[in-house]
Structure 1
Amino acid sequence: MQNPVSEISAVVSLLTAAAAPDIQQATFRKYVTSDAGFRHPLCNVTPGPGSRERVLGVYQWYRILSPHIDITVKSVVHDPENHILLLDVVQTFHVRFSPFKPVPSNLFIRLTLREENGLHYIAFQEDFYHPDEFMALLIPPLSPVIRTGLSLTVTASDIYAKIGQVLGFWSVGGPIEAPGLYDHRRD
């Protein structure tokens, strides 16, 4: 890629939702390094010799699992100094033969780029999901159950914090000024 920020949306679309396997493979070979790595909640490919073919296999299986994928890159942040692209993505992924209606899920992708001869290539991809968003991909009706569980965890944390404070583990003594970078007091 000459300009990763403007080109990455099309690359992501071709890698995940290509109309044909040949298009996906050609895109992959054009934009991904020979020693690429990949990390996802369900799999991990360590960068090194032969890793590129393993990552391609993950992309191909992803496409086989879902014959129709809608994916939109909502925003891109580029950190050129560290060779990082951060993508905020929404995707609708429908597992083949699943009786459930697919629902959109949010995904955060961190791409590590490598620059060679003025072009940028994907060297490592990391996919991050919230638990309820990940469940939306696999079994959409269970997403609300996961969200409820997450809310219950917050309630339990609040209760445990109050118990810990009563027992003296992390008690707030009284008003003190929070430390900061600059003074918020008004004269």
Structure 2
Amino acid sequence: MENPQNEIAKVVSLLTTSASPEIQELAAERYVTTDVGFRHPVCRVNPGPGSRDALLGIYQWYRVMSPTIETRVDNVVYDKQNNVIFLEVQQKFHIRLSPFRPTWSKLIVRLSLREINGLHYIAFQEDFYHPDDFLNLLIPPLAPFLRMALTGASLASNAYASVAQGLGYWSPTSRKSPSGVGDEGRGLYDGNRTD
């Protein structure tokens, strides 16, 4: 890629939603280093000789599992100094023969790039999902129940914190000021540095 920020959405589409395996393979050869690394909630590829073929196999299996994939890149943040791109991605992934209607799922993708002869290649890919978004890929009807469980865990955390504070653990010693920030936190939110 000559201009990663402008080209990355097209590259993601070629790698994940190509119309043919030949296009997908050409995209991998053109935009991914031969020693690429990959991290995902259910699989990983260690960087090393020939690892691009292993990543391509994962992309190919992805297309076999879901013959119809929709992908949207909603936001691109390019850290030019560190040669890293962060993507906000939405995808609709329908497992072949699944009786469930596909649902949009969100993820954050972190791509470490390597510059070679003025062009940027994907050298490492990491995919990050919230648990309910990941469940949307596999069994969409269960995602609302997981969201309820996550909300329940948040409510339980607050209840446990109140009980612990009543027992003297991690109890605030001063009341919040009218602005909502205690004296020791003043300057953290009003733009004044205290260091």
TM-score w.r.t. length of structure 1? 0.95
Give aligned-pair identity as a percent: 55
Find the counterpart in structure 2 of residue 92 from structure 1: 92
What are the within-5 Å matches in structure 2 for residues 5-154 of structure 1?
Answer: 5-154=5-154
Equivalent residue of 1:70, what SS? Answer: strand
Structure 1 gap segments, 5+ residues each = none
Q: Deviations over 1:91-112 (max 9, x none)?
A: 0000001000001111110000
C-alpha separation between the residues in 1 aligned to 2:186 and 2:169? 21
Change (3 A) 1:183 1:105: same
Structure 2 gap segments, 5+ residues each = 176-181
Q: How far does residue 173 in structure 1 lie from its aligned partner after superposition?
A: 1.6
Q: How far does residue 60 in structure 1 lie from its aligned partner after superposition?
A: 0.6
The alignment yields a C-alpha RMSD, in angstroms, of: 1.2
Equivalent residue of 2:154, what SS? Answer: helix
C-alpha separation between the residues in 2 aligned to 1:117 and 1:55? 23
TM-score w.r.t. length of structure 2? 0.92
Indicate conservation of the 8 Å contact 2:66/2:95, yes or no: yes
Find the counterpart in structure 1 of residue 178 from structure 2: none
Count of aligned pairs between the two proteins: 184
C-alpha separation between the residues in 2 aligned to 1:133 and 1:69? 15
C-alpha separation between the residues in 1 aligned to 2:136 and 2:62? 15
Deviation >2 Å, runs of 4+: 179-184
